[in-house]
Amino acid sequence: MGEPQPPRLLDQVRAALRARHYSRRSEEAYVQWIRRFIVFHGKRHPREMGAPQMAAFVTALAVDRHVAASTQNQALSGVLFLYRDVLRMPIGHVALPLRARTPVRVPVVLTPREVRAVIDALVGVPRLVTMLLYGAGLRLQECLALRVKDLDFERREITVRRGKGQKDRRVMLPDAVREPMQMHLGDVRRMHESDLAAGYGRVVLPQALERKFPNAPAEWAWQFVFPAGRICRDERYGRPTRFHLHETVIQRAVVRAARAAGLTKRVGCHTFRHSFATHLLEGGSDIRTVQELLGHADVSTTMVYTHVLNRGGLGVKSPLDR
């Protein structure tokens, strides 16, 4: 028998990302940009290229593709990861292009009336998810990754596990969500019991918990609060499983609901998190409390929401109106 073939380059990239506990979204983005970098240069192997080719690729994204500064920076980070952490190659003496300066934007915030209009235009699971995005200030991925054990109805709180920056935090469970959530969990439990009867029903656990608790994947407490509509097979997890709902389901539903509500603002799922923070500050909540609820590492990140309050310059009466 011949010697085993070494893993393909992109498989090596995935292995390096997982060894460093990058998120699933970061893995998908980095692999995509590395693939595009290779295709951009005629499918040459990265070992035959260096800093000049990196500069040409990133510059073309900005000049020819007109990508946003954040997208350009993400592409550069992905290619740098390939050379520094996978190939472990020096990138040459040619200066890399400077990272694009990301513009500082004021977040889009809805009024309470607009929030109600969008939520009223939603039905089913997208409505429940959106109520949590606004009522608890969750990020979309944090909300979809919730498991049954993370909801505490007695204490009226939600525990967010491994949020952005791999940090846990606790947020409120709004009273308006409790009854519809309990009804929803009843439906999810019946689906889980049906999966178990069919020989499935084992959910994916984070990291190596399945080896430590071999029966946990089939337990009710570990099931996703918002499971996908069908069982799928992902090469990362092996056996068929029911993962959580895909984020595009909620994103598309929110966009349709905003149109149906007649809003002219650009509304996305993250808009409800912005509105949550702004409305808390407008209601007199302390900015440190809001920082803790949002899971921000630095209060300066939370300070962006003071730009949209009716204070400071916006609280001054225009001379035109005098």
Taking a C-beta distance cutoff of 8 angstroms, is the pair 60, 54 a contact?
no
Total number of domains constituting the chain: 2
Q: Assess whether 159 and 71 both reside in one domain.
A: no
State residue 1's pLDDT score: 46
In a domain, 131, yes or no: yes
Residues above pLDDT 90, as percent of the chain = 46
CA nearest to 277, candidates 266, 263, 289, 268 = 289
Instruction: pLDDT band for 146, please (50, 70, 90 cuts).
Output: very high
Taking a C-beta distance cutoff of 8 angstroms, is the pair 195, 242 a contact?
yes
- Which CATH number fits the domain that encloses residue 262? 1.10.443.10
User: N- to C-terminal Cα distance for the chain?
Assistant: 90
Q: Assess whether 47 and 131 both reside in one domain.
A: no
Taking a C-beta distance cutoff of 8 angstroms, is the pair 254, 126 a contact?
yes
The residue type found at 194 is S
State residue 286's pLDDT score: 82
The span from the CA of 238 to the CA of 202, in Å, is 12
For residue 231, the Cα-to-chain-centroid distance in whole angstroms is 22
Q: Assess whether 140 and 71 both reside in one domain.
A: no
Q: Assess whether 213 and 140 both reside in one domain.
A: yes
Q: Assess whether 152 and 276 both reside in one domain.
A: yes
Q: Assess whether 290 and 143 both reside in one domain.
A: yes
Q: What is the pLDDT of residues 300-320, one digit of tens each?
A: 777 877 766 655 555 556 565
β-strand partners of 232: 241
Taking a C-beta distance cutoff of 8 angstroms, is the pair 118, 267 a contact?
yes
Residue-number span of the structural domain to which 220 is assigned: 112-308
Q: What is the pLDDT of residues 261-273, one digit of tens each?
A: 999 999 999 999 9
The span from the CA of 163 to the CA of 145, in Å, is 9
Across the chain, what does the average pLDDT equal? 85
Q: What is the DSSP letter of 296?
A: -
Using DSSP's 3-state secondary structure scheme, residue 89 falls into coil
In a domain, 199, yes or no: yes
More confident residue, 187 or 5: 187
Locate all alpha helices (DSSP H) within the chain, ordered by sequence. Answer: 9-19, 24-40, 51-63, 69-81, 112-120, 124-136, 140-144, 175-197, 209-212, 247-260, 269-282, 287-294, 299-302
More confident residue, 191 or 211: 191
In a domain, 318, yes or no: no
State residue 92's pLDDT score: 59
State residue 258's pLDDT score: 96
Average pLDDT rounded to a whole number, residues 275-290: 87
The residue type found at 181 is M
Q: Assess whether 206 and 261 both reside in one domain.
A: yes
Residue 158 has pLDDT above 70, yes or no: yes
Find where tokens 């590395």 sit: 34
Which residues form the catalytic set? 139, 164, 270, 273, 296, 305
Q: What is the pLDDT of residues 202-253, one digit of tens each?
A: 888 876 677 788 888 888 999 999 998 888 766 655 677 888 999 999 999 9
Q: Assess whether 271 and 133 both reside in one domain.
A: yes
State residue 3's pLDDT score: 59
